């Protein structure tokens, strides 16, 4: 904004803020022959935590003017498993050169080997997935279904196989016990000074065996008094805040994080 009278003038630069702007009252402007320069703003600079009445659990953190350095992504460790066992006949003697075939869900052959003279086989470097395992020799055939889990898969060791001409039931073998599934609850948005309840009691494990709960806060603005309990609660603050929590549950099938 420029103001002038005769040979005297002044230039006023007024700054606006992204939010919390206020009216500019009683601004005094002095005109000079050299051209006076005046800086002003629509109210004081707002604080970084000013904002609306929202509070999120599990959502995106508030964005401030400070840029954080991006962390390098650590590549996920690729799970690999093996399947091993021994093939015998009705008399309990080892069956050598029995054909072992692993077929994936798209009917592609993933591995094909033969048993050794002791009737032993070992299929290594398998990616955990659902497979069909067939073991055969001449007119004798045995089938297995191999089931994987989303994580924490384990090797299937020492399968005992008896080859016979009679048709046998297809058994299902799993890559270790079923792991627990952590459930930290849904994201929440609450107003100021309201009760916040964080509940992990809906976590799942076979036979409802959850051996332990472990809560951890990721946002460094709240300390959980008893992180070993399945749930906890607190009062939302009077200012805009974001909270992020992580739940780890452990059971017979190792652990799972949510």
Mean pLDDT value across residues 204-208: 71
Query: Residue ranges of the domains in the chain?
Result: 2-46, 81-174, 195-257
pLDDT digits (tens, 9 = 90+) for 55-89: 334 444 443 444 556 666 666 678 899 999 999 99
8 A C-beta contact, residue 41 and residue 15 = yes
pLDDT score of 182: 84
Cα–Cα dist 129/144, whole Å: 14
Cα–Cα dist 87/203, whole Å: 40
Assigned CATH topology for domain 81-174: Immunoglobulin-like (2.60.40)
pLDDT score of 69: 63
- The strand order across the sheet containing 212-217 reads 212-217, 245-251, 254-257
pLDDT digits (tens, 9 = 90+) for 190-201: 788 888 888 888
């Amino acid at each position: 904004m420029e103001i002038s009278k005769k040979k005297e003038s002044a230039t006023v630069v007024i700054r606006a803020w992204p939010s919390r702007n206020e009216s500019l009252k009683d601004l005094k402007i002095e005109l000079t022959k050299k051209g006076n320069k005046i800086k002003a703003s629509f109210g004081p600079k707002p604080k970084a935590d000013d904002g609306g009445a929202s509070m999120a659990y599990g959502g995106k953190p508030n964005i401030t003017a400070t840029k954080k350095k991006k962390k390098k992504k650590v590549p996920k460790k690729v799970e690999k498993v093996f399947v091993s066992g021994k093939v015998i006949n009705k008399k309990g003697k080892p069956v050598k050169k029995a054909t072992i075939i692993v077929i994936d869900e798209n009917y592609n052959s993933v591995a094909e080997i033969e048993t050794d003279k002791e009737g032993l086989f070992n299929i290594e470097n398998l990616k955990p997935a659902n497979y069909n395992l067939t073991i055969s020799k001449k007119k004798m055939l045995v089938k297995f279904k191999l089931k994987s889990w989303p994580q924490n898969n384990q090797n299937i060791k020492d399968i005992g196989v008896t080859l016979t001409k009679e048709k046998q039931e297809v058994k299902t073998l799993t890559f270790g016990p079923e792991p627990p599934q952590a459930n930290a609850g849904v994201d929440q948005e609450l107003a100021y000074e309201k009760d916040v309840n964080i509940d992990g009691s809906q976590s799942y494990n076979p036979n409802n065996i959850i051996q332990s709960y472990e809560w951890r806060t990721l946002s460094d603005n709240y300390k959980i008094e008893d992180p070993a309990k399945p749930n906890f609660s607190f009062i939302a603050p009077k200012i805009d805040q974001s909270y992020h929590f992580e739940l780890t549950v452990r059971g017979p099938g190792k652990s799972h994080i949510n």
